[in-house]
């Protein structure tokens, strides 16, 4: 290699070191090369640097969450409790992640064998799984990151029962899930907190096109800061840190369906009976603490094929950025042997992780749904009957009004003589009420009587004019009244 070539190479390196963008340079001004999900080298996308407590910045580029092959989870549809991880069988649900931390934490994730050897992973006498960390060793902290052996899609309830959550300055514990090709298949953070905060953060991270316009959200754009920030909100008070542990821990339930993602937090002593008995009925749990609905603003297609993750990180992009003095101060704190006692709470104690099928779940729920359907059917029938009765009443009233009008017109006598048949009072439901047929018959009879009475005078005149054989009485009358006979003859 010629001397000229070496000089040119050094000059090119110097130019690259001084001209690289912040998002592509590490803390020493050296050009970073990242490996993408398919193993090829790639320069990261330009992004905003995270501000630390001391005002310095740390470039983080694209959050690298490596894809891990895992089969899709399958279970009988009629089986409600589809996966249970607890006690000695807890470890069978997980693989130990041993790659470099994707969020730049000052941590070394270790294998199952090393974790067992260092007594950082063990099952306690009460059956709870204890997962600790090795701090104060003048080197990156040795800790554990578990990832499920199966991938999950919508249609499940994920439940974790925690006795003790890691806490302490520099800690960054999380219970979450993510899909391949981050963030294109989404990330769901049910538990995420740093240092000694007493509340967890519950957050979604997605590719562009998912917005959650819900109350108390920090940022509705789930792709904010290229998905590094996501869209999240605070969990309930005492849901993390020392306060959570002091209360005996609790249970977190995350339901993922085609309608959205819902999260409940149940303190110890307030866990629903149906959930404790492995027959969860989320409709009886009350409103979730967090509900991220799917729809036009955020299609459900943003979330697919998730691995479940439990991990304890230290410092890194979040805990290090907010640590007093910044990330370097955080790293110095967690590696200092004199701070071992100050980080003795940096461990998990987990009773179980369970995966349930979604609703309908319990027989009682099915029964309540059947009862509700029956009640609705009965109510509909009652409405039809009431409607029929009302129509009948309206029809009867209309007929009565019409009959009243007819009777009022027809019941006018032609002379001062009262009709033979008394008029009945008409009114719906009153005594003496007659049918239309009866009244028509009466009307006909009255008309006949009137006609008969009108014909009688004419009959009398005709009878007087008709020739009859004279008898003694007639002769006597005619002879007594000769002027009347003459008038009649004329």
Task: Give the per-residue pLDDT at 163.
Answer: 98
Cis omega (within 30 of 0) on the bond before 360?
yes
Q: Is 277 a catalytic residue?
A: no
What's the CA dihedral at 298, 301, 304, 310 to 10 degrees? 0
Q: Which of 353, 351, 348 is nearest to 120 (CA)?
A: 348
Task: Give the per-residue pLDDT at 108.
Answer: 98
For each of the chain's 490 residues, which pLDDT tens digit applies? 444 444 444 444 443 333 333 333 333 222 222 223 333 323 223 233 333 333 333 333 345 566 777 888 888 778 899 999 999 999 999 999 999 999 999 999 999 999 999 999 999 999 999 999 999 999 999 999 999 999 999 999 999 999 999 999 999 999 999 999 999 999 999 999 999 999 999 999 999 999 999 999 999 999 999 999 999 999 999 999 999 999 999 999 999 999 999 999 999 999 999 999 999 999 999 999 999 999 999 999 999 999 999 999 999 999 999 999 999 999 999 999 999 999 999 999 999 999 999 765 444 344 334 433 443 444 455 555 566 666 777 777 777 776 776 666 655 555 554 444 444 444 444 445 566 667 676 777 777 676 666 666 655 655 665 554 444 444 444 444 444 334 444 4
d(CA 158, CA 93): 13
Could you report the per-residue pLDDT of 82-111, keeping only the tens digit for each? 999 999 999 999 999 999 999 999 999 999
Token code pair at residue 38: 């398919």
In the set 187, 197, 331, 442, the catalytic residue is 187
In the set 88, 112, 192, 424, the catalytic residue is 192
Task: Give the per-residue pLDDT at 126.
Answer: 95
Task: Give the per-residue pLDDT at 321.
Answer: 95
Helix (H) or strand (E) holding 261: strand 260-267
Token code pair at residue 7: 């000089």
Q: DSSP for 446-457?
A: HHHHHHHHHHHH
Task: Give the per-residue pLDDT at 75.
Answer: 80
> Do residues 457 and 464 lie in contact, with contact meaning Cβ atoms separated by under 8 Å?
no
d(CA 332, CA 326): 10
Task: Give the per-residue pLDDT at 454.
Answer: 62
Q: Which residue has the tokens 């997605």?
A: 206
Q: Is 192 a catalytic residue?
A: yes
Helix (H) or strand (E) holding 19: helix 3-19
> Do residues 122 and 132 lie in contact, with contact meaning Cβ atoms separated by under 8 Å?
no
Cis omega (within 30 of 0) on the bond before 357?
no
Q: DSSP for 350-377?
A: EEEEEEE--SS--HHHHHHHHHHHHHHH
Task: Give the per-residue pLDDT at 62.
Answer: 40
Q: Which of 143, 134, 189 is nearest to 309 (CA)?
A: 189
Task: Give the per-residue pLDDT at 479.
Answer: 41
d(CA 327, CA 52): 7
d(CA 57, CA 48): 9
């Amino acid at each position: 290699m010629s001397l000229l070539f070496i000089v040119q190479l050094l000059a090119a390196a110097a130019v690259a070191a001084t001209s690289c963008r912040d998002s592509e340079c590490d803390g020493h001004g050296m050009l970073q090369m990242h490996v993408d999900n398919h193993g090829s080298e790639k320069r990261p996308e330009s992004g905003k640097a995270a501000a630390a407590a001391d005002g310095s910045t740390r470039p983080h580029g694209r959050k690298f969450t490596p894809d891990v092959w895992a089969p899709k989870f399958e279970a009988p549809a009629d089986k409600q409790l589809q996966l249970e991880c607890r006690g000695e069988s807890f470890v069978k649900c997980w693989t130990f992640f041993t790659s470099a931390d994707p969020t730049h934490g000052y941590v070394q994730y270790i294998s199952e064998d090393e974790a067992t050897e260092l007594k950082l992973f063990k099952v306690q006498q009460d059956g709870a799984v204890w997962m600790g960390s090795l701090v104060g060793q003048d080197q990156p902290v040795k800790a554990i990151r578990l990832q499920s052996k199966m991938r999950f899609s919508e249609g499940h309830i994920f439940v974790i029962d925690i006795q003790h959550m890691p806490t302490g300055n520099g800690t960054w514990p999380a219970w979450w899930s993510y899909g391949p090709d981050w963030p294109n298949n989404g990330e769901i953070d049910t538990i995420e907190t740093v240092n000694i905060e007493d509340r967890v953060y519950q957050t979604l991270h997605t590719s562009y096109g998912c917005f959650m316009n819900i109350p108390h959200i920090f940022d509705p754009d789930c792709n904010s800061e290229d998905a590094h920030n996501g869209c999240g909100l605070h969990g309930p008070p005492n849901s993390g840190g020392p306060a959570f542990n002091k209360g005996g821990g609790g249970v977190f339930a995350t339901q993922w369906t085609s309608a959205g993602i819902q999260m409940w937090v149940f303190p110890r002593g307030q866990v629903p009976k149906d959930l404790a008995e492995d027959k969860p009925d989320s409709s009886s749990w009350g409103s979730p603490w967090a509900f991220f609905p799917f729809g036009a603003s955020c299609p459900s297609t943003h979330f697919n094929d998730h691995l479940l993750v439990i991990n304890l990180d230290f410092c890194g992009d979040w805990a290090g950025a907010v640590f007093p003095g910044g990330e370097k101060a955080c790293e110095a704190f967690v590696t200092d042997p004199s701070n071992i006692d100050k980080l003795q709470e940096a461990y998990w104690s987990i009773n179980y992780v369970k995966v349930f099928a979604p609703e309908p779940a319990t027989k009682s729920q099915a029964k309540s749904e059947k009862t509700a359907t029956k009640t609705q059917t009965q109510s509909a029938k009652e409405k039809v009957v009431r409607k029929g009765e009302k129509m009948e009443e309206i029809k009867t009233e209309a007929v009565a009004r019409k009959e009243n009008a007819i009777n009022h017109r027809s019941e006018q006598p032609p002379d001062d003589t009262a009709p033979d048949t008394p008029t009945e009072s008409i009114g719906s439901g009153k005594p003496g009420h007659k049918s239309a047929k009866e009244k028509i018959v009466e009307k006909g009879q009255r008309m006949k009587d009137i006609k008969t009475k009108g014909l009688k005078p004419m009959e009398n005149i005709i009878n007087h004019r008709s020739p009859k054989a004279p008898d003694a009485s007639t002769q006597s009358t005619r002879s007594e009244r000769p002027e009347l006979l003459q008038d009649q003859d004329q």
